[in-house]
């Protein structure tokens, strides 16, 4: 079961050298074509691809494929016309074409057909040929640039390569040059010693073996000595689409759409195997091309799902390349939360170039779309806040059930209080605010007003958290949130009078830990001591809370004021040894990194923090 047959050249190019003085009739090259039926005969024709030389120097026998010299080469044949030929060696490109029918006058000049044309490069030497005794055995035996032959699978056997170099064989009758090849047992290759031609003896199968390595041995015998040389010959087997697609296991996959309902979500994957290769170049070819069809007329299914197809080549069990096609079921649009149904989607995969029966495979996707509800199952949130906390202190995260898994579902959160509450209570409740996370469907609570927090009349804060889906306002859930105020608020001590708004301005541990800055939950900045000798992500710095800053991520609270955590949020150029963060901030720094407003600096601290190491501890202990 194969595509259209055509004869082909089992080699991509041929080349040989010619010299001044070589006589008319000298054989240069033997061309071979592989036929596809025994009654067929091959015809050859030759084209010269350049204007120069104007005379026809070569003759290609139409029936045998033997290329030979038309006339004796003399010096004038190499006389350069103006400046187009300079130097000792010139390459003359020729093109040979093969056909099942005899060539008429012009048919040799038609458009190139892949596989039925072959390039021949003749290297002209502007000298006479070296004498037979001067030539090295290697030159006598093997061509300078060997082109590996290829055999198409499932085709007729036949002769595909002449091992002999024809000019020395013809011009040096005193030399005996013989060849032999070494093959494995049950090799499909045979060698004819009298003609020095290699043939393939039976049709090959690429799915069985892709490459054969033959060892060619050449013996050169002169009156004085005998030389033996060997060189490998790699024979590649070319593929055609002779294998049907198959599945490894089940043809059905169960798919559940629940929390990830976003457009582009990958719901399920199925693999289809094919023992054939799938070349990706040239792009317009159809070899082993797969076409897929969604077997449905339901417009909802058609607009909601799509199948994406990618493929790659892999070595299957016997170390021969095959193709793995991957079909992914993708959500084509974001589904609403209420959507609920189940359906089966069938997808027909067709290997269009495979001409036998069963060139298709049917894939089944059993899809269940479940609705999603917003809820707080048995959750009431309980957080504590220090009365000394600075503005923008992060208190905690609120999250509906499964909110980390939500994709394509937008949840908004609100804090509600009793409408009939007194003004004082309302003022107290203004202490805390909520902000939507950008990454998932959760929200972060933070300190909004510190005067309410410090007010002794304000006690524990009770809120109702209301979570709501943005698209569908009816779907909502409520739960209780209690924030306990702990500790005692103190007025700013004298010590803190000179404290800046931002912890990040502090360059030393002592001055860092005695100050408060935006975002610090205890009313004290925290010091991080790095210990790397080079640029490191663990650089020394002063931060409001080491839990959130610097963590390499500028979150929704930090972005509200650049003074909270410029280490994560700066967009200005950083001065000193550093590595910049992907979107913003300092990824890694040298020594201590500190920032004035948005401008950050990283440098080795002048005053090294006195670290008490093991030796120091021992000294103290013994003292």
Partner 1 sequence: KKSGGRSRSRGCVLKEIHLNVTDLDLGYHTKEELIFRYCSGSCNAPETTYDLILKNLTKNKKLGKERVKPQACCRPTAFDDNLSFLDDSLVYHTLTKHSAKKCGCV
Considering only 604, 617, 618, 619, the residue that binds partner 1 (CB under 8 A) is 604
- To partner 1, the closest distance from the beta carbon of 590 in angstroms equals 3
Piece of the chain touching partner 1 by CB under 8 A; list 391-399, 451-459, 467-475, 533-541: 533-541
Q: Which of 499, 591, 592, 595 binds partner 1 (CB under 8 A)?
A: 591
CB neighbours of residue 110 within 10 Å: 11
- Closer of 517 and 591 to partner 1 (Cβ): 591
Side-chain half-sphere CA neighbours of 209 within 13 A = 11
Residues in the chain: 623
Concatenating the DSSP letter of every residue in 213-242 gives EEEEEEEEE-SS-EEEEEEEEEEEEEP-S-
Question: According to the binding rule CB under 8 A, does residue 602 interact with partner 1?
Answer: yes
Reduced 3-state DSSP string for 243-302 = CCCECCCCCEEEEEECCECCCCCEEEEEEEEECCCCCCCCCCCCCCCEEEEECCCCHHHH
For partner 1, the closer CB: 370 or 583: 583
Closer CB to partner 1, residue 261 or residue 528?
528
Total binding residues toward partner 1, as defined by CB under 8 A = 12
Q: Are 100 and 40 in contact (CB under 8 A)?
A: yes
Least separation, in Å, of the C-beta of 575 and partner 1? 9
- Residue 541 C-beta: closest distance to partner 1, Å: 14
Kindly state the smallest distance separating residue 81's Cβ from partner 1, in Å: 51
- Is 534 among the residues that bind partner 1 (CB under 8 A)? yes
Beta strands in 455-518 (DSSP E): 461-469, 476-486
Residue closer to partner 1 by CB (options 116, 532) is: 532
* Residue 552 in contact with partner 1, rule: CB under 8 A: no
By CB under 8 A, which span of 136-144, 311-319, 561-569, 572-580 interacts with partner 1? 572-580
Q: Is 582 in the site for partner 1 (CB under 8 A)?
A: no
Q: Which stretch binds partner 1 (CB under 8 A): 101-109, 208-216, 282-290, 575-583?
A: 575-583
| Least distance CB 468 / partner 1 (angstroms) | 45
Is 93 or 576 the residue whose CB approaches partner 1 more closely?
Answer: 576
Among residues 579, 597, 601, 609, the one that binds partner 1 under rule CB under 8 A: 579
* DSSP H helices in 51-141: 137-141
**346 binding partner 1? (CB under 8 A):** no
CB of 506 to partner 1, least distance (A): 20
Residue environment code for 97-107, b if the CB has 16+ CB neighbours within 10 A, otherwise e = bbbbeebeeee
C-alpha–C-alpha distance, residues 46 and 76, integer Å = 23
Query: Which residue stretch of 161-169, 380-388, 502-510, 570-578 sits at the interface with partner 1 (rule: CB under 8 A)?
Result: 570-578
Nearer to partner 1, 478 or 587 (CB): 587
**Between 349 and 388, how does the x/- string for binding to partner 1 read (CB under 8 A)?**
----------------------------------------
Taking the complex as a whole, the smallest distance from the CB of residue 276 to partner 1 amounts, in Å, to 40
> Which residues have a Cβ under 8 Å from the Cβ of 480 and sit 6 or more positions away?
380, 381, 462, 463, 464, 465
Residue 189 touches partner 1, criterion: CB under 8 A? no
Other C-beta atoms closer than 10 Å to the C-beta of 533 total 9
590 binds partner 1 (CB under 8 A): yes
Q: Which stretch binds partner 1 (CB under 8 A): 21-29, 51-59, 76-84, 569-577?
A: 569-577
Q: Shortest CA distance to 145 belongs to which of 118, 165, 125? A: 165
Q: Are 519 and 544 in contact (CB under 8 A)?
A: yes
19-35 burial: b if 16+ Cβ within 10 Å, else e: bbebeeebbbbbbbbbb
Nearest distance from C-beta of residue 281 to partner 1, angstroms? 31
Nearer to partner 1, 114 or 533 (CB): 533
CA dist., res. 600 & res. 591, Å (int): 13
Question: Which C-beta is closer to partner 1: that of 481 or that of 588?
Answer: 588
CB of 580 to partner 1, least distance (A): 10
Minimum distance between the CB of residue 540 and partner 1, rounded to whole angstroms?
Answer: 12
Interacting residue with partner 1 among 341, 470, 492, 573 (CB under 8 A): 573
Could you list the beta-strand ranges (E) of 471-581.
476-486, 526-528, 541-543, 575-576, 578-580
Quote the least distance from Cβ 58 to partner 1, whole Å.
Answer: 55
Residue 191 in contact with partner 1, rule: CB under 8 A: no
Q: Of the candidates 93, 292, 552, 576, which one interacts with partner 1 according to CB under 8 A?
A: 576
Q: Which of 462, 559, 577, 598 binds partner 1 (CB under 8 A)?
A: 577
The pair phi, psi for residue 503, each rounded to 5°, is: -60, -35
CA distance 253 to 257: 13
**51 contacts 23 by C-beta, under 8 angstroms:** no
What residues form DSSP beta bridges with 436? 443
Q: Is 519 exposed, middle or buried (0-12, 13-18, 19+ CB in 10 A)?
A: buried
Shorter beta-carbon distance to partner 1: residue 164 or 578: 578
SS3 616: helix
Strands 226-238 and 211-221: antiparallel
Is residue 535 within the footprint of partner 1 (CB under 8 A)?
yes
Residues that bind partner 1 (CB under 8 A): 533-535, 573, 576-577, 579, 589-591, 602, 604
């Amino acid at each position: 079961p194969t595509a259209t047959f055509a004869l082909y050249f089992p080699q991509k190019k041929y080349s040989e050298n010619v010299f001044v003085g070589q006589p008319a009739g000298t054989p240069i090259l033997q061309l071979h074509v592989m036929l596809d039926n025994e009654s067929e005969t091959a015809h050859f024709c030759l084209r010269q691809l350049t204007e120069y030389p104007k005379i026809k120097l070569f003759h290609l026998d139409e029936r045998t494929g033997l290329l030979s010299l038309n006339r004796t080469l003399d010096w004038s044949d190499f006389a350069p016309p103006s400046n187009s030929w300079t130097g000792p060696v010139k390459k003359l490109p020729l093109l040979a074409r093969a056909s099942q029918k005899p060539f008429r006058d012009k048919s040799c000049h038609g458009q190139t057909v892949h596989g039925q044309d072959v390039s021949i490069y003749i290297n002209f030497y502007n000298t006479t040929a070296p004498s037979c005794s001067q030539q090295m055995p290697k030159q006598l035996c093997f061509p300078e640039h060997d082109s590996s032959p290829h055999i198409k699978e499932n085709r007729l056997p036949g002769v595909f390569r002449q091992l002999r170099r024809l000019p020395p064989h013809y011009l040096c009758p005193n030399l005996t040059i013989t060849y032999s090849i070494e093959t494995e047992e049950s090799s499909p290759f045979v060698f004819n010693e009298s003609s020095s031609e290699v043939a393939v003896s039976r049709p090959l199968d690429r799915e069985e073996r892709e490459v054969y390595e033959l060892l060619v041995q050449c013996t050169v015998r002169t009156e004085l000595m005998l030389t033996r040389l060997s060189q490998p010959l790699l024979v590649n087997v070319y593929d055609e689409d002779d294998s049907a697609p198959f599945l490894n296991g089940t043809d059905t996959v169960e798919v559940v759409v629940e929390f990830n309902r976003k457009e582009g979500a990958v719901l399920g994957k199925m693999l289809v195997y094919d023992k054939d290769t799938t070349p990706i170049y040239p792009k317009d070819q159809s070899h082993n091309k797969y076409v897929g069809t969604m077997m449905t007329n339901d417009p909802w299914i058609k607009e909601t799902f799509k199948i994406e197809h990618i493929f790659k080549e892999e070595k299957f069990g016997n170390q021969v390349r095959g193709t793995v096609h991957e079909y992914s079921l993708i959500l084509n649009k974001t589904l609403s939360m209420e959507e609920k149904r189940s359906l089966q989607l069938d997808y027909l995969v067709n290997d269009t170039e495979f001409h036998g029966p069963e060139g298709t495979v049917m894939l089944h996707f059993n899809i269940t779309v479940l609705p999603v509800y917003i809820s707080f199952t048995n959750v009431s949130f309980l957080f504590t806040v220090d009365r000394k906390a600075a503005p923008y202190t992060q208190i905690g995260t609120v999250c509906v059930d499964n909110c980390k898994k939500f994709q394509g579902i937008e949840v908004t959160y609100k804090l509600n209080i009793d409408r009939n509450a007194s003004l004082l209570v309302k003022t107290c409740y203004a202490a805390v605010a909520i902000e939507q996370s950008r990454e998932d469907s959760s929200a972060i609570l933070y300190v909004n007003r510190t005067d309410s927090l410090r007010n002794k009349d304000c006690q524990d804060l009770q809120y109702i958290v209301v979570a709501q889906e943005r698209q569908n306002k009816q779907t909502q859930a409520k739960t209780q949130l209690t924030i306990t105020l702990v500790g005692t608020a103190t007025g700013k001590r004298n010590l803190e009078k000179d404290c800046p708004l931002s912890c990040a301005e502090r360059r030393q541990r002592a001055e860092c830990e005695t100050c408060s800055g935006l975002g610090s939950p205890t009313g004290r900045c925290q010091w991080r001591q790095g210990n790397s000798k080079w640029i490191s992500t663990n650089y020394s710095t002063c931060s409001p809370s080491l839990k959130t800053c610097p963590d390499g991520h500028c979150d929704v609270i930090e972005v509200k004021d650049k003074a909270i955590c410029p280490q994560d949020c700066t967009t200005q150029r950083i001065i000193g040894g550093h590595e910049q963060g992907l979107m913003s901030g300092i990824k890694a720094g040298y020594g201590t990194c500190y920032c004035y407003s948005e401008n950050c600096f990283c440098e080795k601290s002048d005053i090294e923090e006195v670290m008490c190491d093991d030796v120091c501890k021992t000294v103290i202990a013994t003292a």
